[in-house]
A and B are shown apart, each in its own frame.
Chain A
Amino acid sequence: MKLLFLGTGGANWGIEFESRPEFFRRESSAIINDELLIDPGKDVIEALNTFNVDRKRIKYILNTHPHSDHLNEKTLKELQNIGAEFIQFKVGETKTFGRYTVTAFKGNHAACPTTHFLVSDGEKEVYYGLDGAWIMPDAFHTIIDRRVAAVVLDGTYGFDTYSGVFEHNNMGMVVEMTAVLKKYVGRVFISHLSSKHHSTHESLVKQMSEYDVDVAYDGLEIDL
């Protein structure tokens, strides 16, 4: 399975940061095997161009939740118009399409109905767990039982950031969960990082390597 992070920022990042010379993040989105897109946000078309993904290859689109940084009608329409199919899920549903089997789990994201996805491409499995605080028991047990190849966690807030931790994770929570997850799963990534609550990417990478957590960045491509 090829997992490509098209965007790794929280809602206060975005493509408009591109004009800045330093490191920036697009709104969070990821694509599997160049054909299954999770979250058609407003930055996705630009990201596909920048990271050399042929948008005509996208067959399926999933959406975690309707917040504007994860679902953009214009992006969705544009991709649907060239053949992608938008597949919607309710919590608990499993659907099979093409080589993929996807199960939707409840994300703990306050009042916003949010689904996290366990995606299998017939070879490997990845759990895409953002946005949301913590992992709910059904998902936690499934991730562990299935020994998934990778888990992507919400990494919105930093160390010593304590507001919003009942809708998103901070690094303390990521450390707590990872200590358990790493006994059972291949890799743990964080994405959906806030621009305001983290230090530089480099220093965060260094800090999180101590806990065996990979900090995603735009354009990061992983072969699982």
Chain B
Amino acid sequence: MKLFFLGTGAADWSREVQNDSEYRRFTSTLIDDTLLIDPGPHVPNAIEVFDKDIKNIKYVINTHRHSDHFNADTLALLEENGAEFIDLHAGDKVQIGKYFVEAYKANHGKIETVHFFISDGDKVLFYGLDGSWLMPDESYGLMKKGVDYAILDGTLGEKLGDIRIIEHNDLGMVREMTKSLKPFVKRFCINHFAKEYFPTQEVTEAFGKKYDVDVTRDGEEREI
């Protein structure tokens, strides 16, 4: 399974795409060039800049309707180019092309949010953002299934006391959860970085090393 990170930022990065190597677009991930998670407002720009063929994108799924993860114009553009939007809710289990996708309820404030288990028959990916502390069903799903790669919300830094832990993880929470789930997950990754805590890739990578998790950057491809 090939992951391509079209965007890796939280909503505090500017909505206007910046011509700056440290800039992060809003978080969106493409799987094997065919399955897109989160048609956010920066997706068309990322497709163009990273030289992706929009016509290869056959399926679109969405974690939640916050405006950095879901944009009607982006979705319309994808649909015009042949993509199908599959609107998933907690509890759904569907076959989408070669992918078996299960949607689980996530803990992300008032807005309905789902996380995904995505299997291509070879590898299993857990896509766990946005969200704060994992809910029981998805955490026990992780323990039961065992996954090759788990992407967790890593929005906040390591300084204690940010009220946004109600809706997102900070690095202390990432440490506690990865230690708990380590026997069931081959490798962890954090994504959805707030500019406030991860201003540069160097800082982000240093945190990745410290917390023993992979980190992401826009335009990066990763085979799992």
Contacts and interface: CB of A to CB of B under 8 A. Distances in A.
Contacts of A87: none
Contacts of A45: none
**Interface size bucket, A side?**
20 to 34
Contacts of B173: 173, 176
B136 A167 contact: yes
Contacts of B165: 176-177, 180
B110 interface: yes
Interface residues of B, number: 26
Interface in A67-106: none
A110 interface: yes
Contacts of B14: none
Interface string B132-143: 111110011000
A120 B208 CA distance: 44
A205 B175 CA distance: 23
Contact of A172 (B110, B163, B167, B176): B176
B133 A173 contact: yes
Contact of A183 (B133, B139, B140, B161): B161
B180 A163 contact: yes
Interface string B120-151: 00000000000011111001100000000000
Contacts of B170: 176
Contacts of B136: 108-111, 133, 166-167
A119 to B, nearest CB: 21
B172 interface: yes
A25 B68 CA distance: 48
Given A165-B180, A166-B180, A172 B172 contact: yes
A32 to B, nearest CB: 26
Nearest to B169: A176
Interface string B146-190: 000000000000001111011100101101110110000000000
Contacts, number: 68
Interface string B52-91: 0000000000000000000000000000000000000000
A17 interface: no
Given A179-B160, A180-B161, A137 B166 contact: yes
Interface in B35-50: none
Contacts of B140: 110, 166
Contact of B132 (A134, A138, A166): A134
B109 A137 contact: yes
Contact of B161 (A140, A162, A179): A179
Contacts of A165: 176-177, 180
A170 B176 CA distance: 9
A57 interface: no
Contacts of A177: 165
Given A110-B136, A137-B167, A175 B180 contact: no
B107 interface: yes
A160 B140 CA distance: 20
A220 interface: no
Nearest to B177: A165
Q: Which 9 A-B pairs have the closest CB atoms?
A: A179-B160, A162-B180, A134-B133, A166-B139, A179-B161, A110-B136, A172-B176, A162-B179, A140-B166
22 contacts: A108-B107, A134-B107, A134-B132, A135-B166, A137-B107, A137-B108, A137-B109, A137-B110, A138-B110, A162-B179, A166-B133, A166-B140, A172-B172, A173-B133, A173-B173, A175-B172, A176-B165, A176-B172, A177-B165, A180-B160, A180-B163, A180-B165
Given A138-B110, A163-B180, A176-B176, 8 more contacts: A134-B133, A137-B109, A165-B180, A166-B140, A173-B173, A176-B170, A176-B173, A180-B162
